[in-house]
Structure 1
Amino acid sequence: MGAAERGHLMPGGHPMAVRRTGLIRARKAAGFTQESFAEVMHVDRSTVARWETGVREPLPYQRPKLARLLKLTMDELDELLHAERSNVAPTQPVSPSPSALPAPRVVHAGLLTQYETLTDTYRQIDYQAGSGAVYQEAVAQLNRLLDMADNVPSPLYQRFALALGDAAQLAAWLAIDHQDYGAARRYASLALSSAQEGEDPGLHAYVLGIMSYIHLHAGRGPDAVRLLLAALHLATNPRFAVSAAVHSWLSEAIGEAYALSGDHQAGARALAEAERLFDRVNPTEVPTWLAFYNGTEHIMRLKGRCLVRLGDGPAAVTALEEAAEALPAHYVRERSGTLIDLATAQLMSARGDEPRSAEPEAAAAAASEAWELAVQTGSGRNQRRVRELLPRFEPYRRLAAVRPLLEMAP
C-alpha cells in the first residue's frame, strides 16, 4: 500500500491523503460543525480536520462514539473512512522505505518500547549531528507510529498516544531548524492532539511552547506571549503536577516573548522566575522530550538568549560565555546557536568609538565558529542568523578577525 493510501506525512509535513467527503457529509447531516463535533468527541478541532482530510484515522476506541454521534453503524463508518482508497492511483511507483513497511499486526509493550527508544535515538542524533542528518528518518518514524494506531490494544492506547506526541514534537523542532514553519505547525498540531489524547498536561504545555517559537522566529512577540500564557496556565495547575523543568523552560520562553513585545520589565521577571524554578529541577524527573534542559549550561544558554532580547549585552555575554564553555562538545547545534547569541551580545557591548576594542574581534570568532557548525549540521536557521548578523560587522571590516568572516558567510 503506497504512502498516498495511508495518508502519510512527508518531510515538510505535507499530507499525502484523500479527502473523506462522505465523513464530512455525515457530520454536517448530524448537525455538527467541526468545532462542535470536536467538543463532544473531546479532541481538538484540528484532529477532526485531519480525520476529514484523510491525514489521520480515528483511533479504535474513538470509533464507537464517532459512529453513534453520526448515527452510523460501525460498518458504515468504516466504509466512510476507507471508501475513497479504491479511487487513488499513485502517480509513481512507491519504493520500499522505512515508512512504507507494513504495520505490525500486534503491538505489545516491548515493541512500543523499541519505537520510543528509536525516537530518543533520533533526538540524540539531532543534538550531535544536526537536523539535516535525521529529519527524513524522524518523519518516517512518525509515519510508522501513525500506521500502528489501528493495531494498538486498549491498555496501551495512552502510552501509544504519548509516543506519537513525542515523535511529532521532535519532527516539529526539526522542521523549525529547516525553516519549514508550515510543516512545523502541522507536526506541532499532531503533537498537541496526541498529548491531549494521552492526557499529559506537561507535554501539552511544552508543545504550546514549541508553537510559540514559530511566532518568536517570525517576530510576533504578542502571539508568542498568548500561547505561552496558556501553556503556563497548564504548567502551574497543581492538579497536574507538571515537572518544574517544563515550568522553568516556559518561563524563559515567555521572557523572550515579552522582550520581543517591548515589555522588558515583564521579560526580566519571567527570566528570574525561570532561574528560580530551575533550582528545583530534579534531573531524574525531567521528561524525555525535555532531556536537554537538565544541566546548568542549558539554563545559562537560554538565559543569555533572553538577555540579548532584553538588550542587556554585558550580562548576556557573561551567561553565554559560561554556557559555551560548559556545553558538551557533541551538542553541536546548541553550540552554534549559543555562539550566534554570544556574537550578538558582544557586538551590543562593543563601543562604536573604539573600533579596535576586543568585542568585535571576539564576536567575529564566535560567529565564524557558529557558521562552520551551522554548515556542518545543515541548519538553515542558524546559517540565516549568521547572515543577518553580518551587516553589524561592517564598521569593523578592517579588523583582521572580521574580514575572513565576511568572506566566509556571504
Structure 2
Amino acid sequence: MTSEDEHPNMREPAFGGHSMAVRRTGLAHARKAAGFTQESFAEAMCVDRSAVARWETGAREPLPHQRAKLARLLKVDMDVLDKLLSPADATPTSAVQRWCAPVSADDDEQDALELVRRINASDVGDETLTRLEAAVDELAIAYPTTPPNVLLGRVRQYLGYVGRLLDARKTLAEHQRLLVVGGWLSLLGATVHIDLNQESAAAARLKTAASLALHTGHDEIRAWVYETEAWHALTDGHHAKALELAQTAKSIAPAGGSIAIQAVAQEGRAFARLGQRREAYAAIQEVQHLAAPLTRPDQPEHHYRYDPDKAVAYTATTLAWVGDPAAEGYVREIIRRLGGGNDPAKWPRRVASANIDLSLALLVNGRLDEACGHTLQAITSGRVVPSNHWRAAEVLRAVEARGLPEAVELREAYEEMCRQ
C-alpha cells in the first residue's frame, strides 16, 4: 500500500474540519533553521515522518500536548508556534530564530492516546476511551494539590481533544462514553472556574456538564452539577438557594454513591449558614451514617470520591458554622489525619480550610489570639483559593470587632492575599 504522503487525495482532513490544506512554509523553514530534517524531527517528536510532512502541508495539525515539545525543538514560544500553524503561516524564519524562550515539556499522555486511536480500526477505540477515563480520574485526584490555573489548562486540553474526537468515526457505545468523559471534564472545569471566581465560565461549564449528563442519562454527573452549584451559591452568600440546590442533588443522586453523601453534607452546611441548627445536626448524623461503612480509598484525594476523612472535615465545618464549640475537636482530628498541618504539600487546600474552621471554633471558645494565628497560617500558605477568601474574612471581621492587636497583621496578610 502506498503512503498517504504519496497520494494527496488520501490525506486525512485537519482536526479543524477544513478540506483544503494550506501549506505551512514557515513551519518547514523553522524546522530547517533548528537543524532538523523531516526524519530527524519526526524521531525527536516520537512520530512518523509522514506526520511531520502532514503538519507542514497543512493536512493535519499537532495535538495539544505535542505543541509544547514542538515549540521547544523549534526554539520558539507558543505564540510564534500558533502563527506557524495558522493558515496564514506568515511568520518569517528570521522572526522564528529570535524567539528562544525555553518551554517546559509536557507529558506524553495524549500522544499515547493518539497512537492507540490510530492503531484501532475505530477512529476512537476502547483503549483511547479507557485512557481518557483514566485521565479524568487523574485530574480529579490532582485537584486538591494543583494550582487552579495549572489544572484548568490541563482540563482545557483534554476537553479540546474530546471535542475533536466527537467528529471522528465511532460506535454509539463509544459516543456515549465520550460524552460522559466530556461531562466529567466540564464539571471539573466548572469547579476550578468557581475557585477562581470566574462566574461566567463556571456557569457555561456547568450548563455543558448538565446537558451531557441529560444526553447520557448520567444521574451521578447531574447530581454533582447541582451540588457544585450549591457550593457556588454558598460562597456567594445565597444560603437559601444553596439549600434548594443541595436538596435537588440529593434527590437525583444514585443511592450509595459519593454524591449521595456529598449532597447531604452540602445540605447540612446550607442549614448551618441559615442558622437552622436542628436540621444541620440531623444532616451531620446522616452523613456519618452514610460514611460509616466506607473504607479509606487508595486515592482519597479524588474530588469525586467520598472517604471517612471528608466526613470528619464536613462535620467540622458545619459545627464551626453553627457556632458549636465541639467543632474544635473535629478540626484538630482532621488536621492530625492530614499530617498535622506541618507539611501541607499533599493536602494544601484541605489543611488551609481546616485551619480557618479551627479559627472559627476558637473564636467561639474565646481564644482569639489562637484564632488569629491559625487564620494567618492558612492565608500565608497561599492555598486559599479566591472563592474561599470570604471564609478568612469572617475570622478577620470577628477579631477586628473585638479589638485584638493581632488583627492588624491579619488584615495586612488578608489584603495581600486578595491582591495576588
Counterpart residue number, 1:58: none
State the Cα distance separating 1:158 from its structure 2 match: 2.4
Q: Which has the higher contact order (CA 8 A, sep 6+)?
A: 1
Counterpart residue number, 1:223: 241
Counterpart residue number, 1:355: none
Counterpart residue number, 2:364: 348
The answer to whether the 8 A contact 2:226-2:245 is kept is yes
Counterpart residue number, 1:406: 411
SS in 2 for 1:185: helix
Counterpart residue number, 1:164: 182
Q: Deviations over 1:377-398 (max 9, x none)?
A: 4722234532453222225665
Distance 2:262 2:212 in 1: 21
Distance 1:204 1:361 in 2: 44
Further displaced range: 360-369 or 116-125: 116-125
State the Cα distance separating 1:264 from its structure 2 match: 2.4
Extract unaligned runs of 5+ from structure 1: 6-91, 351-358
Change in 2 beyond 3 A, CA 1:160/1:226: same
Counterpart residue number, 2:271: 258
Q: Within the alignment, does 1:108 sit opposite 2:125 as a pair?
A: yes
Distance 1:196 1:265 in 2: 35
Distance 2:197 2:302 in 1: 21
Further displaced range: 204-213 or 341-350: 341-350
Q: Within the alignment, does 1:140 sit opposite 2:176 as a pair?
A: no
Q: Within the alignment, does 1:320 sit opposite 2:298 as a pair?
A: no
Counterpart residue number, 1:20: none
State the Cα distance separating 1:227 from its structure 2 match: 1.8
Change in 2 beyond 3 A, CA 1:158/1:136: same
The answer to whether the 8 A contact 1:162-1:195 is kept is yes
Distance 2:350 2:294 in 1: 20
Q: Normalised by the size of structure 1, how large is the TM-score?
A: 0.65
The answer to whether the 8 A contact 2:396-2:407 is kept is no
The answer to whether the 8 A contact 1:259-1:310 is kept is yes
State the Cα distance separating 1:271 from its structure 2 match: 1.7
Distance 2:397 2:15 in 1: 48
State the Cα distance separating 1:233 from its structure 2 match: 1.6
Distance 1:287 1:162 in 2: 22
Q: Within the alignment, does 1:303 sit opposite 2:311 as a pair?
A: no
Q: Deviations over 1:327-362 (max 9, x none)?
A: 254111121122122212222321xxxxxxxx2222
Root-mean-square deviation (Å): 3.4
State the Cα distance separating 1:268 from its structure 2 match: 1.7
* Aligned mate of 2:224, from 185, 206, 228: 206
The answer to whether the 8 A contact 2:15-2:164 is kept is no
Counterpart residue number, 1:267: 280
Change in 2 beyond 3 A, CA 1:188/1:124: same
State the Cα distance separating 1:228 from its structure 2 match: 1.9
SS in 2 for 1:145: helix
* Aligned mate of 1:393, from 390, 393, 399: 399
State the Cα distance separating 1:255 from its structure 2 match: 0.8
The answer to whether the 8 A contact 1:131-1:378 is kept is no
Q: Deviations over 1:149-205 (max 9, x none)?
A: 132421212222221111111111111110112222221121122222232222221
Further displaced range: 333-342 or 114-123: 114-123
SS in 1 for 2:144: helix
Q: Within the alignment, does 1:243 sit opposite 2:256 as a pair?
A: yes
Instruction: Give the % identical residues.
Output: 20
Aligned amino acid, residue 172 of structure 2 = S
Q: Normalised by the size of structure 2, how large is the TM-score?
A: 0.64
Change in 2 beyond 3 A, CA 1:287/1:196: farther
The answer to whether the 8 A contact 2:269-2:318 is kept is yes
Distance 1:283 1:291 in 2: 14
Change in 2 beyond 3 A, CA 1:363/1:287: closer
Change in 2 beyond 3 A, CA 1:388/1:225: closer
| 1:84-123 correspondence to structure 2 within 5 Å | 94=82, 106-123=123-140
Aligned amino acid, residue 204 of structure 1 = R
Change in 2 beyond 3 A, CA 1:334/1:292: farther
SS in 2 for 1:246: helix
Distance 1:215 1:291 in 2: 19
Aligned amino acid, residue 324 of structure 1 = I
Change in 2 beyond 3 A, CA 1:273/1:194: same
The answer to whether the 8 A contact 1:308-1:344 is kept is yes
Q: Deviations over 1:207-254 (max 9, x none)?
A: 21111111111121221222222222223xxxx5x3343222111110
Counterpart residue number, 1:363: 371
| 1:168-207 correspondence to structure 2 within 5 Å | 168-207=186-225
Further displaced range: 317-326 or 262-271: 262-271
Higher alpha-carbon Rg: 2
The answer to whether the 8 A contact 2:300-2:306 is kept is no
Distance 1:4 1:229 in 2: 43
Change in 2 beyond 3 A, CA 1:3/1:349: farther
Distance 1:291 1:180 in 2: 21
Change in 2 beyond 3 A, CA 1:181/1:317: farther
The answer to whether the 8 A contact 1:268-1:310 is kept is no
State the Cα distance separating 1:114 from its structure 2 match: 2.2
Distance 1:146 1:172 in 2: 17
